Amino acid sequence: MYPLRGAVRHYSWGSHTALAELTGRPAPTEEPEAELWLGAHPVAPATVDTGDAAVPLCDLIARDPEGELGTDCARQFDGRLPFLLKVLAVEQPLSLQAHPSRAQAREGFARENAAGIPLDAPRRNYRDDNHKPEMVVALSRFEALAGFRAPAETVEFLRDLGVSELTPYASELGDNLDATGLRALFTAWMTLPTKSLVGLTDAVLSGCERYLEARSGSEDEFTVAARTALELGLAYPEDPGVLASLLLNRVSMEPGDALFLPAGNLHAYLRGTAVEIMANSDNVLRGGLTSKHVDVPELLRVLDFDSVGVPWVRTRRDGHERLYALPVREFELWRVRLHNSGTPEPATAAFAGSAPRILLCVQGSVQLRCDDRILGLGRGEAAWVPSSDPELVVRSSHATVFVATPPIRSEST
Ligand SMILES: [Zn+2]
């Protein structure tokens, strides 16, 4: 096991304080800090301190894939770490987006290669041929839009807003309360000519203001949705994402709550700090709420209009540990909370060897022990534990640690 130092990514929607405070650096920072990458993605690999040198994690793994990842994992994922762990610090809403399935990514990657679009071109959609299922776990209160609301409720919301310009759209969805109706409405809004888009958005935002005034102080799903549209309209005027937000679930997450965003799920993160884990891919299709490349036709190809509702992740508790189990082969995530609950002895949790792991301490401090080796982690610090290490024991009187690993599917256990 080794100390692992994450790579900070500067995007305009990031926070000037959250990541610096988490990792014990002076805040506010000059540049916004949006993401801390803890992984082996070649664009921004984390750095392993081996004692002799600081080595990018991707290079360490490339030197000895079977030793670092284990034979099964190295074989299954072509010698690469199959997941990327991040901390997100969201100060401004970020893009309305979805990710492709593996088949869509393969097809899109080949198509853009054949069209001669350079891999680093801003208009490139598919930067690799992999899918990118992702999960987000709140560290603070975390706000997001995720998944379509059930169409019948959306019809009720659109009618309640009392905006005459919305009436034909609400009627059409009311006549088709299914994926076809949602697709038609979303497509219509996302492809409006600019003049019509501005007119409709202005009418909707005025409607949202009137709606909130009439219900001053009351807080329910629809008032929250109206307020969200107003906030997005301020940050991104003339953006179809403002209208799209009317169709989506507005989600407020408490620390520990998690959402799973599988292929085709439309989502946008609005505010807060969270841990995010995803397959090792950079494939994002954007529909708005961003200054980055937007490709609505391509987004429409991958969107899933069939599954509605909030994509909450169910967790399984096991002693100090809580498993966020997902139907993906690239990763699973554990949250370990250790408290000595009145006894002088620190609490412990143990993880078997033979699996690569990334640990991130987000609260308190922990001691990691492998054989006779000991490594301390404070808040915001991380560690890389190669597959060749034996059992790992985590000890603390007070700490919260996330542990990311590929799901262990060994025949012998
Ligand atoms: Zn995403």
pLDDT tens by residue, 109-147: 999 999 999 998 999 999 999 999 999 999 999 999 999
Report the alpha-carbon distance of residue 328 to residue 111 in Å, rounded: 26
Contacts of 10 (CB under 8 A, 6+ apart): 31, 32, 33, 34
| Residue range(s) of every CATH 2.60.120.10 domain in the chain | 2-145+253-298, 315-405
For the segment 228-244, what is each residue's pLDDT rounded down to a tens digit?
999 999 999 889 999 99
How much is the average pLDDT of 25-36? 97
Strand partners, 272: 90
Q: How far apart are the CA of 339 and the centre of ligand 1, in A?
A: 33
How much is the average pLDDT of 253-267? 96
**Is pLDDT at 413 greater than 50 in this prediction?**
no
Q: How far apart are the CA of 155 and the centre of ligand 1, in A?
A: 26
Q: Which long-range contacts (CB under 8 A, 24 or more apart) does 195-199 make?
A: 197/238, 197/240, 197/243, 198/238, 199/165
Question: Within 13 A of 290's CA, how many CA atoms are on the CB side?
Answer: 21
**Is pLDDT at 411 greater than 50 in this prediction?**
no
Residue 286: active-site member? yes
Q: How far apart are the CA of 398 and the centre of ligand 1, in A?
A: 32
| pLDDT at res. 344 | 82
Q: How far apart are the CA of 89 and the centre of ligand 1, in A?
A: 14
Q: How far apart are the CA of 4 and the centre of ligand 1, in A?
A: 24
Give me the architecture of the 315-405 domain, per CATH: Sandwich (2.60)
Torsion of CA 151, 242, 224, 286, to 10 degrees: 80
Q: Which of 149, 286, 337, 357 is catalytic?
A: 286
Pairing of strands 373-377, 357-370: antiparallel
Q: How far apart are the CA of 83 and the centre of ligand 1, in A?
A: 14
Which CATH homologous superfamily contains domain 2-145+253-298? Answer: Jelly Rolls (2.60.120.10)
How much is the average pLDDT of 5-16? 96
CB 280 within 8 A of CB 82: yes
Which of 39-43, 149-153, 306-310 reaches the highest mean pLDDT?
A: 149-153
